[in-house]
Structure formats: C-alpha cells, structure tokens
C-alpha cells in the first residue's frame, strides 16, 4: 500500500496515528540536526520531520539527499507541531518519520513548482506535466471537471442522452478550414475532422433520440487569433420537437445551474436582446452588459453643420465615459492614439467634455455650440463630469471601433469585474452575412439554420434582411454558446444551399446524406453548442482558455511539449500513397 492517507487530510484528530504517505518533495529545510520536508500531492501538503534524537541515522542521511520533486513514501506517526501553520488544513500536525523510501529521484525542475513560478509561458508549456503540479493549473483542471460534471448532471436529469459521434468524417461547414486526415485504405481520399458534430446531431434527431448532448472535441483550422485553440471542446446539444423558446429556457436553466453550483451565484432571468439592438447599442453581437456606456447615435444632432467629417459619415456615434472629464488633454490625446492604432482603425476621435457647471467643451467647438453639445450629452446619456467620445464613418466599421473603445475604457475603469456575471441571449441573428471581399453571402451561423417563418421568399430579393431562428448566449462580453432552429425539410435546405452558392451537384455531394434523411420523417429540431473552454474560464474568473486546458497548443497551433505537428517518415507517406511537394 503506497499510502494510508493523502497529503491534505491529516489534522489534530489524527495525532498518534501511524500513517503512510506518498508524494513529491515540495521543499526541504535542513538544519543539520533536524530536517523538515514538505510532502505534496494533489490534495495538499503535509510536513515531515526527521530529527537526530528520534530518527535513525541512516534515514536522516537519506533525508538529507532528498531533492525537490523527488517522489517518496514515508511511514511515521502523526505528532503535534511545535509551530503551527494556520494557513493550511494540515498545519497543526507533522509526521515523525520512521521509514523513508525514495520511489523516484527527480532532476531539478526547470522552474519553481510554486503558485507564483519563475517559469515563463514557453518553458511551462514544454514541461506542462510539471506546470500541472502547481496549484493554479491543478485547481483550474479540477474546476473544469466540476463544471463538466454539473453539465452532465443537469442534462442527464433533463433526459438528455450522451451520444458519441465520429471524428473521421467529411467536411462540416462551420466557417473554418477543415483539418484533414489521409485515408490509407482509400487511396487519394481524405477524412475531415469535425468542426462540430452538427450534421450528426441532426441525424440523431431524425433517428428519434429526442434529446442529445455530447462533451466533444471540435477541430477548426483557423488562423489563431488570440486565445483560440485549433482543437477545443463543445457541450453540443440538440432537441427534437422544440421551438426557439424551448431551447432558450432549457439552456438558460443549464447556465443558471452552473452559476449556482459552481460559483454560488443566483442570476435573474436572462435578458434577451435583438441582434440589431445589440449592434446599435453596443456595436457588438456579444455585448458586455456588466456596465452601461451604451452607444448614442448622433447623426440627427451632429450632421448638417459645417463639419465635413461628420456630414460625410454613414454613422456618427458616441459613448459617455463616466468621470471622463477628469482626463487631462494628454490622456485624451493618448486615447485618440489608441483608437487610431491599426488594430482599432479609427481615423480620429471627437470629444466633448461635460463640465460640472453644465457647460461643454469639445474638440470641435468651431462647428458646434453649447446647445448642440447638450444634445450630444443627452443622446449618449452623459452627465456632468463625463466625457463624450465620438467616432464616425461606415456603420459596421465605426461600430466595431467604438465597441473596442468601450471595452478598453471599461477595463481601465474597472467595470469588468470577473466576479459579476451578466448573461444574456442575443436573438434574431441575420440568416446570411455578406462577405465584403467576395461580395457573396454566407451563412452567418451555418447552412442548416432555418430562416424565420415566412421570410424565405425574401432570400431572392433582400437576402441580407432575412432573419434566422438563431441565438447566442453571451456572458460578460463573450459568446459562450450559439445555436439555431434547423431546417428539417429537403426543399428548404436545397433553397438555402443554392443561395449559399452550392450547385445542385455540390449540394448533393456534400450534404446529400442529410437531405435524404429529411425525406424519411425528420422532426422539427434545433439546438446549440457551448464553448466549454471559454465557459469554464469565465466561470473561473479568468479569460485565458489555455489556463483551463491540460495540454493546450500555443499561438502557432503547436504542442511544444510533444513537438507537434511534425514531419512523418517516408514509409508512412508511402503507405498513404502520398508524395510531398511543398510549395515553399
């Protein structure tokens, strides 16, 4: 038996008990006549004591050789500690060691296994197994397990069945590139790894499973923007015989359950916001509503004066920065530089100070009088002491820019408190989105999303106006889930694919199996998927998903620990009937 107890559970009630413990040497203090060792495992730390008087000479000598991270087993007696440590559960006791076995020696770790380590991200990722020994990473993984357990509890209690779907499949269009896997047995052919189990879960509905879920890996070969992973985990769900309302209710229930069980937070009914309103008020389809600073559109009160920049803009829009009038001229100039950075891309920023005496002072006083500026304050909801910041330009661009500024200022003002949870549903997304570069429409959610009833005819005339039964669940400015009511008849699916630019043959080749299934009695159905990594990191009060993934990839999609991806040898290529002809 390696252990009778773990390193986190012994306390004063165990005094005089004989115990066996196993674990890692966190650190040892050698006073010559006395050695203390902190023994660590997943559950905690227990102090061991070896001393000249009570420990045999050879054990003492062995103890002197213990290095950091050695794996050892000890037998001994629980005794009361002379100087107690109130900060840890085992702080009242220590183990007077009578037997010591070194189970495995360890090289000196390349960084300290402490909560605050001296190791940078790269080295910690290379030795991730050592990183996982540190409390912050370990606790994040335990936290993740708790979240997934609660997901399973809730969904199982609501009659959802967990079903696995295959990884070696054919393209599922979720808007990214596929990772492909060559097939040895089918020369020249490739599987695609699923971007999501979308079509399979729909087929499970045709198969009568009624309520499905799966905690499942998805694979998307995207350019890795900050904090994306090429493989990530979804809580993927689908239900039959449901309308949007049913889905919103059940998954609002799941989210509320998680907030309560995991965070101890009770949240009111989630607000629902139309996509159009989210864009108008926050410039963003995943608004952070922990704070206000809603957009005020100023065209009516800022155009038709002599200020050409505003007159020529499609949209003039501003926000009130609480207390912003205290910013110095220099600070405001810095803010202007911030919005002009290429990542944000604004050409400039107009501002108006709201003075305590009710007067205003703007950067465009030449064109606007006090009455004008009072209207700006009114429209943006600015009060005395605030600063109105205004951007102008093409609607989509300027909204994105002001949204970035809003988030940045909120961060600086400390309004994004990770302990506050503000979920909401964003509903009525457009069905299609115009790709400005190609001029083609593509599915905003995915091609299986159904248009709002009665809007299908609009596809021919005003495709951009068609709304979908599609919804996102947003938490603290992050999309944590999204889904839709699906098309469940072949004819509508065919129309949709046609509008997405698929020829009849392509549609049949790629999605024939789904459309055929729709001809064998497909129930109305819909669902959604949560991004588990992000959900866990937000519930955990952090925003980096990597911290909640045991073995994440870096920003170039590499696993630096196992050094993947890597070339394969010629023999393997031959077996696959592949020849490399790298273009660069």
Which residues are CB-neighbours of 31 under 8 A, at least 6 positions away?
none
Cα separation, 502 vs 171, whole angstroms: 14
Q: Does 244 bind ligand ASP (CB under 6 A)?
A: no
Cα 72 to Cα 40, 187, 413, 527, 573, distances in angstroms: 10, 52, 49, 50, 45
Cα separation, 357 vs 370, whole angstroms: 12
Least distance in Å: CB of 175 to ligand ASP? 9
Cis peptide bond prior to 565, omega within 30° of 0: yes
Taking contact as CB under 6 A, which single stretch among the options 100-108, 202-210, 279-287, 481-489 is the one that binds ligand ASP? 481-489
Q: Could you say which DSSP state residue 173 is in?
A: -
Please identify, using beta-carbon distances, which residue of 196 and 403 lies nearer to ligand ASP. Answer: 196
Cα 247 to Cα 152, 394, 425, 456, 473, distances in angstroms: 17, 35, 11, 22, 11
Least distance in Å: CB of 172 to ligand ASP? 8
The answer to whether 481 and 528 have CB atoms below 8 angstroms apart is: yes
Secondary element (H or E) of residue 180: strand 180-182
Number of chain residues interacting with ligand ASP (CB under 6 A):
10
Which residues are paired to 481 by β-bridges? 473, 530
Please identify, using beta-carbon distances, which residue of 484 and 493 lies nearer to ligand ASP. Answer: 484
Least distance in Å: CB of 236 to ligand ASP? 7
Classify residue 444 as exposed, middle or buried by CB count within 10 Å of its CB (0-12, 13-18, 19+). buried
Please identify, using beta-carbon distances, which residue of 258 and 529 lies nearer to ligand ASP. Answer: 529
Please identify, using beta-carbon distances, which residue of 217 and 490 lies nearer to ligand ASP. Answer: 217
Q: Does 198 bind ligand ASP (CB under 6 A)?
A: yes
Please identify, using beta-carbon distances, which residue of 318 and 447 lies nearer to ligand ASP. Answer: 447
Least distance in Å: CB of 246 to ligand ASP? 14
Please identify, using beta-carbon distances, which residue of 154 and 351 lies nearer to ligand ASP. Answer: 154
Q: Does 196 bind ligand ASP (CB under 6 A)?
A: yes
Question: Of 487, 529, 538, 549, which lies in the binding site for ligand ASP, with binding defined by CB under 6 A?
Answer: 529
Count other Cβ atoms within 10 Å, centred on residue 196: 21
According to DSSP H, which parts of 264-394 are helical? 275-282, 299-302, 308-311, 329-340, 370-380
Please identify, using beta-carbon distances, which residue of 287 and 483 lies nearer to ligand ASP. Answer: 483
DSSP reduced 3-state for 356 = coil
Q: Does 165 bind ligand ASP (CB under 6 A)?
A: no
Report the site for ligand ASP in 437-466 (rule: CB under 6 A): 446
| Strand ranges (E), 333-477 | 350-354, 360-362, 387-393, 423-427, 432-434, 441-443, 470-475
Which residues are paired to 316 by β-bridges? 392
Question: Of 47, 55, 233, 484, which lies in the binding site for ligand ASP, with binding defined by CB under 6 A?
Answer: 484
Least distance in Å: CB of 537 to ligand ASP? 18
Q: Does 214 bind ligand ASP (CB under 6 A)?
A: no
Please identify, using beta-carbon distances, which residue of 170 and 290 lies nearer to ligand ASP. Answer: 170
Taking contact as CB under 6 A, which single stretch among the options 72-80, 413-421, 477-485, 574-582 is the one that binds ligand ASP? 477-485
Least distance in Å: CB of 125 to ligand ASP? 27
The answer to whether 139 and 540 have CB atoms below 8 angstroms apart is: no
Please identify, using beta-carbon distances, which residue of 200 and 351 lies nearer to ligand ASP. Answer: 200
Q: Does 528 bind ligand ASP (CB under 6 A)?
A: yes
Please identify, using beta-carbon distances, which residue of 286 and 353 lies nearer to ligand ASP. Answer: 286
Least distance in Å: CB of 303 to ligand ASP? 39
| One character per residue 345-364, x = contact with ligand ASP (rule: CB under 6 A) | --------------------
Strands 350-354 and 360-362: antiparallel
Cα separation, 114 vs 136, whole angstroms: 9
Taking contact as CB under 6 A, which single stretch among the options 23-31, 219-227, 482-490, 556-564 is the one that binds ligand ASP? 482-490
Which residues are paired to 99 by β-bridges? 75
Please identify, using beta-carbon distances, which residue of 235 and 346 lies nearer to ligand ASP. Answer: 235
The answer to whether 146 and 178 have CB atoms below 8 angstroms apart is: no
Cα separation, 574 vs 581, whole angstroms: 14
Least distance in Å: CB of 194 to ligand ASP? 9
Least distance in Å: CB of 203 to ligand ASP? 13
Least distance in Å: CB of 10 to ligand ASP? 47
Please identify, using beta-carbon distances, which residue of 293 and 466 lies nearer to ligand ASP. Answer: 466
Please identify, using beta-carbon distances, which residue of 48 and 528 lies nearer to ligand ASP. Answer: 528
Q: Does 485 bind ligand ASP (CB under 6 A)?
A: no
Please identify, using beta-carbon distances, which residue of 119 and 482 lies nearer to ligand ASP. Answer: 482
Q: Does 427 bind ligand ASP (CB under 6 A)?
A: no
Least distance in Å: CB of 453 to ligand ASP? 18
| One character per residue 508-527, x = contact with ligand ASP (rule: CB under 6 A) | -------------------x
Q: Does 174 bind ligand ASP (CB under 6 A)?
A: yes
Closest to 346 measured CA to CA, from 394, 288, 297, 298 = 394
The residue at minimum Cβ distance from ligand ASP is 196
Cα separation, 462 vs 468, whole angstroms: 14
Terminus-to-terminus CA distance in the chain, angstroms? 58
Please identify, using beta-carbon distances, which residue of 69 and 174 lies nearer to ligand ASP. Answer: 174
Which residues are CB-neighbours of 92 under 8 A, at least 6 positions away?
11, 12, 80, 81, 84
Least distance in Å: CB of 358 to ligand ASP? 49
Question: Of 322, 447, 483, 540, which lies in the binding site for ligand ASP, with binding defined by CB under 6 A?
Answer: 483
What is the CA angle 353-354-357, rounded to 5?
A: 130
Secondary element (H or E) of residue 405: helix 395-412
The answer to whether 339 and 321 have CB atoms below 8 angstroms apart is: no
DSSP reduced 3-state for 253 = helix
Q: Does 482 bind ligand ASP (CB under 6 A)?
A: yes
Secondary element (H or E) of residue 309: helix 308-311
What is the CA angle 83-11-143, rounded to 5?
A: 110
Q: Does 469 bind ligand ASP (CB under 6 A)?
A: no
Cα 80 to Cα 9, 41, 244, distances in angstroms: 14, 21, 62
Which residues sit at the interface with ligand ASP, rule CB under 6 A? 174, 196, 198, 446, 482-484, 527-529
């Amino acid at each position: 038996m390696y252990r009778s107890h773990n390193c986190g559970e012994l306390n004063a009630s165990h005094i005089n008990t004989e115990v066996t413990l196993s674990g890692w040497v966190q650190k040892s203090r050698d006073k010559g006549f006395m050695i203390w060792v902190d023994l660590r495992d997943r559950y905690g730390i227990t102090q061991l004591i070896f001393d000249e008087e009570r420990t045999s000479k050879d054990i003492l000598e062995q103890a002197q050789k213990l290095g950091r991270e050695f794996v050892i087993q000890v037998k001994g007696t629980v005794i009361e500690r002379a100087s107690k440590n109130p900060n840890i559960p085992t702080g009242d006791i220590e183990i007077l060691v009578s037997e010591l076995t070194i189970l495995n020696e360890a090289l000196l770790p390349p960084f300290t296994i402490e909560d605050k380590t001296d190791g940078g991200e790269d080295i910690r990722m290379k030795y991730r197994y050592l990183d996982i020994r540190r409390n912050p990473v370990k606790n994040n993984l335990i936290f993740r397990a708790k979240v997934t357990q609660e997901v399973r509890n809730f969904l199982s209690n609501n009659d959802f069945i967990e079903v696995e779907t295959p990884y070696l499949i054919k393209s599922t269009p979720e808007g990214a590139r596929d990772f492909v896997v060559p097939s040895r047995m089918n020369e020249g052919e490739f599987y695609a790894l699923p971007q999501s189990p979308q079509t399979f879960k729909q087929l499970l509905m045709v198969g009568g499973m009624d309520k499905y879920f799966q905690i499942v890996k998805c694979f998307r070969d995207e350019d890795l923007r900050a904090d994306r992973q090429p493989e990530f985990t979804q809580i993927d769900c689908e239900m039959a015989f449901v309308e949007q309302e049913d889905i919103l209710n059940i998954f609002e229930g799941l989210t509320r359950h998680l907030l309560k069980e995991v965070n101890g937070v009770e949240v009111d009914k989630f607000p629902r916001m139309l996509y159009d309103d989210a864009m108008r008020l926050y410039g963003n389809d995943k608004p952070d509503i922990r704070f206000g600073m809603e957009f005020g559109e100023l065209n009516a009160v800022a155009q038709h004066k002599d200020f050409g920049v505003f007159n020529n803009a499609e949209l003039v829009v501003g926000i009130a920065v609480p207390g912003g009038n205290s910013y110095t001229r220099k600070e405001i100039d810095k803010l202007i530089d911030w919005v002009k950075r290429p990542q944000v891309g604004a050409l400039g920023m107009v501002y108006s100070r709201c003075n305590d005496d009710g007067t205003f002072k703007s950067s465009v006083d030449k064109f606007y009088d006090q009455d004008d500026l009072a209207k700006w304050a009114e429209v943006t909801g600015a009060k005395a002491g605030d600063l109105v910041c205004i951007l102008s330009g093409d609607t989509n661009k300027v909204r994105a820019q002001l949204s970035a500024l809003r988030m940045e200022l909120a961060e600086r003002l400390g309004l994004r408190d990770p302990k506050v949870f503000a979920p909401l549903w964003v509903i009525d997304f457009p069905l299609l989105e115009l790709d400005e570069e190609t001029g083609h429409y593509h599915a905003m959610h995915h091609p299986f999303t159904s248009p709002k009833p009665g809007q299908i005819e609009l596809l021919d005339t005003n495709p951009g106006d068609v709304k979908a039964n599609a919804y996102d669940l947003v938490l603290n400015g992050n999309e944590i889930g999204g889904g839709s009511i699906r098309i469940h008849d072949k004819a509508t699916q065919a129309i949709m694919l046609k509008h997405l630019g698929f020829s009849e043959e392509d549609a049949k080749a790629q999605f024939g199996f789904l459309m055929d299934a729709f001809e064998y009695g497909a129930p109305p159905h819909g669902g959604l998927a949560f991004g588990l990594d992000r959900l866990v990191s937000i519930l955990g009060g952090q925003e980096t998903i990597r911290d909640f993934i045991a073995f994440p990839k870096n920003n170039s999609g590499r696993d630096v620990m196992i050094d993947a991806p890597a070339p394969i040898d010629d023999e393997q290529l031959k077996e696959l009937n592949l020849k490399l002809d790298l273009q660069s």
